[in-house]
Structure 1
Amino acid sequence: MNHIRYERRRYTNGQTPIEELKRLSEALGGPAIYIKRDDLLGLAAGGNKTRKLEYLVADALKQGADTLITCGAVQSNHCRLTLAAAVREGLRCQLVLSEPETGGYNPQASGNHLLFHLMGAEKLQIIPADGDMPAEMEKLAAALEKEGRKAYPIPVGGSSEVGTLGYMACAEEIEQQAWEMGIPFDYVVTATGSAGTQAGLLAGFAARQSSASVIGINVSRDRETQEKKVHELLLSTAELVGLKGEWPASLVRCEDEYVGPGYAIPTPEMVEAVKLLAQTEGILLDPVYTGKAMAGLIGLIRKGAFRKEDRVLFLHTGGAPALYTYADVFLAER
């Protein structure tokens, strides 16, 4: 038996719900749309990184680490949740944060950046937008080692093979819920960035012999680059857990038409998507990931990419705290 899939912390009680979005489906005149509420996962304000951290933190504790180190943008959901997991486990946490691509780092920023201070991050290392985050994490880990401490570095987004196991588990959860609801899903649509969520879903559905197709909506990078990134992580994760089968590159589908000018840079389509879901279903998306992913789903529906009878599951990966740093974007559109 490969024990790695069983070495897991639990930060959420039970499953996250799947809800039908009837009013959104009616507004779009498209297929039946459902939403998987991973924004309701445990730890501070929830989000998809919680699932990855259940495996990553278990591995860190197994290795005797006393400090988690990770990296991301100054409004990183992953950094927020890594810090929350460290607090939960009595570990310390250091964060390497890259300045916004548009410039102008604000040390008094709200959103996730405020929460880094509120939850007591031991250190915030701010680097330029084009800085080398892995190299900076290595420096922090080396400095801690000299102090007799043991760091556990976590890559951006928690998207290592170990972190990806969280979304293999999610795929199994979705399949169980689909069986209980009597609603097999034809498509699962998710934001795709660091690749762990999409790769994990693909591996998990394959393990369950599910026919659900996974569509990633890019939040950065072009289609070819992102599909290669997801495919490579899918292959290495399958190898880690001993999952047999064929893994052609054609399994991976990423849509890059909704990225806009770049990562975390707003688009009119994102603003429309966030407002539409808020005003039809009372559910908040975020401007960086789920807003653009929903814009992608809406765009595909309008292009006729789905049949009327299809059942489409949108994965809500969280991130709502970032909304409050984009107030000017949404208020400008009133």
Structure 2
Amino acid sequence: MVRIARVAVRTTQRQTRRVDLSTFHRVPLGTWPTPLDTCPRLSAALGATVLVKRDDVGGVGLGGSKLRKLEFTLAAALAAGADTIITFGGVQTNHGRLTAAACARLGLRCELVLTRSVPRSGFAYDRSGNVALDRLFGARLHLCDTDEEADYTAGALATATSVTLPVGGSSGLGVLGYVAAAQELTEQLDDRVVDRIVCAAGSGGTAAGLALGTETPITAVSVSPGSARKIDRAARLAAKELDVDPPKLDHVSVDESALGEGYGVPTDEVWSALRLFARTEGIVLDLVYTGKAAAALVSGIRPGETVVFMHTGGVPANFAYAPELVAEAAR
């Protein structure tokens, strides 16, 4: 594990920071609070107490963590008079799917600039999963081969009334969605003490927001290279929005043990984790984010500890991995 950032910050007795988000524009997209599931069969299998925060359920577009970010970023876009949202991601981006769904709800045009960043192709990956839903929600898709081509395409699409969101929605405003989630989780835990929170780390916004909202130790499981840098950057952007000093994240650890061959490439341990969660609790993980976070959880859990596992969604992308999904599900 690689520890990032630097100092401790003052906390409340309940391990949460007091952050006032009431001054920010926010549009309702999710169903909050999302459930915090006690998982007795999963916990028994792992020899520890595992609670699953179900950010995969509730809200538009089949739900998912990105809705928390979009509540802030799209509210700001509407306040600025935008009529079009442009954003980026891989071909099977969850952020793209939920941006498309939220834009449909809010009457905004959605332009998705998608980069072929995963070494996969074929009908299932190129047409099914999130791609099919993107089109169902009315988004326009622009497929690119490189990041440079994606930047050029987004620039060509931009107008005076468009707003461009970064990959994963992890702008300073977007990160505030997971500051709110940390506060929500603290309320749900009440007086229960947890040893750590485990989440997937892609663009860094989820881990950064949680880190700004709680002093509970966080294990951020890398799904792509450079997680420490991305989390630090996202947290600094959020601190600027909040007009506070740059954050110091001594309670965040980055775990790269489940990265495998890279973003979007599931390992045997990921498939095993999917089967474990499904067959003990009926909870479906995704192959890109929560599957890798769960693989790291399973391999690194300590006997008797209490962990909150953040289920950030992404299940529709699983169908892009047929026929592997069919074969692995039957094992």
C-alpha deviations, 1:3-52, integer Å up to 9, x for none? 775311111233101011110111122x2000000001311111000000
Tell me, in whole angstroms, the C-alpha distance in 1 between the residues paired with 2:152 and 2:193. 44
Q: For 1:243, what is the secondary structure of its paired residue?
A: coil
1:154 aligns with 2:170: no
Aligned to 2:324: 329
Q: Shift in Å at residue 185 of structure 1?
A: 2.1
CA drift of 1:138 comes to: 1.8
Q: Which amino acid aligns with 1:118?
A: L
Structure 2 residue aligned with 1:174: 185
Compared CA separation, residues 200 and 134, structure 1 to 2 (3 A):
farther
* AA matched with 1:159: S
Paired residue for 1:113? 131
Return the offset for 1:232.
2.3
Secondary structure (helix, strand or coil) at the match of 1:12 reads coil
Separation in structure 2 between the aligned mates of residue 240 and residue 134 of structure 1, nearest angstrom = 24
CA contact (8 A) 1:99 1:105 kept: no
Task: Tell me if the contact between 1:134 and 1:155 (Cα under 8 Å) persists in the aligned partners.
Answer: no
Measure the CA separation in 1 of the matches of 2:193 and 2:21. Answer: 29
Q: Does 1:86 align with 2:103?
A: yes
User: Relative to structure 1, is the Cα distance of residues 129 and 16 closer, same or farther in structure 2, using a 3 angstrom cutoff?
Assistant: same
SS in 2 for 1:189: strand
Q: Is residue 270–residue 291 contact of structure 1 (8 Å, CA) maintained in 2?
A: yes
- The TM-score, its normalising length taken from structure 1, stands at 0.87
Structure 1's 5 and 312: CA in aligned 2 closer, same or farther, altered over 3 A? farther
| 1:226 aligned partner | 227
1:24 lines up with 2:42 in the alignment:
yes
User: 1:235 matched to which residue of 2?
Assistant: 236
Report the TM-score when normalising by structure 2.
0.88
CA distance in 1, matches of 2:204, 2:54: 19
The equivalences for 1:246-261 within 5 A come to 247-248=247-248, 250-261=250-261
- Return the alpha-carbon distance in structure 1 between the equivalents of residues 85 and 213 of structure 2: 27
Structure 2 vs 1, CA of residues 3 and 214 (structure 1 numbering), >3 Å: closer, same or farther? closer
Say which of 2, 7, 13 aligns to 2:31: 13
192, 195, 198: which one aligns with 1:186 = 195
Query: Could you say which residue in structure 1 is the equivalent of 2:9?
Result: none
Unaligned stretches of 5+ residues in structure 2: 1-18
Let me know the Cα RMSD of the aligned residues.
Answer: 2.0
Q: 2:300 corresponds to which residue?
A: 300
Rounded to whole Å, the distance in 2 between the matches of 1:307 and 1:6 is 41
- AA aligned to 1:286 is D
Q: Equivalent pairs: percent with the same residue?
A: 41
Give the CA deviation at 1:131: 4.2
TM-superposed deviation, 1:132: 4.4
**Counterparts in 2 of 1:276 and 1:103: CA distance versus 1, 3 Å:** closer
Deviation of 1:157 (Å): 0.2
Q: SS at 1:257's partner residue? A: coil
Shift of 1:105: 5.9
Does residue 198 in structure 1 map to residue 207 in structure 2?
yes
SS in 2 for 1:26: helix
Q: CA deviation at 1:332?
A: 3.1
Residue in structure 2 matching 1:213, options 217, 222, 239: 217
CA shift for structure 1 position 325? 1.6
**Distance in 1 separating the partners of 2:249 and 2:93:** 29
1:68-83 mapped onto 2 (5 Å cutoff): 68-83=85-100
Q: Is the 8 A contact 1:5 1:165 kept in 2?
A: no
Deviations 1:178-235 (A, max 9, x none): 11xx322221100001000000000011xxxx4x1111000010xxx32122112212
3-state SS of paired residue (2:127): coil
* 1:255-294 matched pairs, under 5 angstroms: 255-294=255-294
Equivalent residues of 2:239, 2:247 under 8 A apart: no
1:133/1:65 Cα in 2 relative to 1: closer, same or farther (>3 Å)?
Answer: same
Look up the equivalent residue of 1:20 and give its one-letter code: T
Q: Secondary structure at the match of 2:173?
A: helix
The letter for the 2-side match of 1:99 is R
Tell me, what secondary structure is at the counterpart of 2:250?
A: helix
By percentage of residues, which structure has more helix? 1
**Structure with higher RCO (Cα < 8 A, 6+ apart):** 2
Runs of at least 4 residues of structure 1 off by over 4 A?
Answer: 1-5, 105-108, 129-132
Q: Could you list the per-position Cα deviations for residues 272-309 of structure 1 after superposition, in whole angstroms to 9, with x for gaps in the alignment?
A: 001110011001111100111100110112xxxx351x
Match in the other structure for 2:5: none
CA distance in structure 1 between the aligned counterparts of 2:300 and 2:271, rounded to whole angstroms: 16
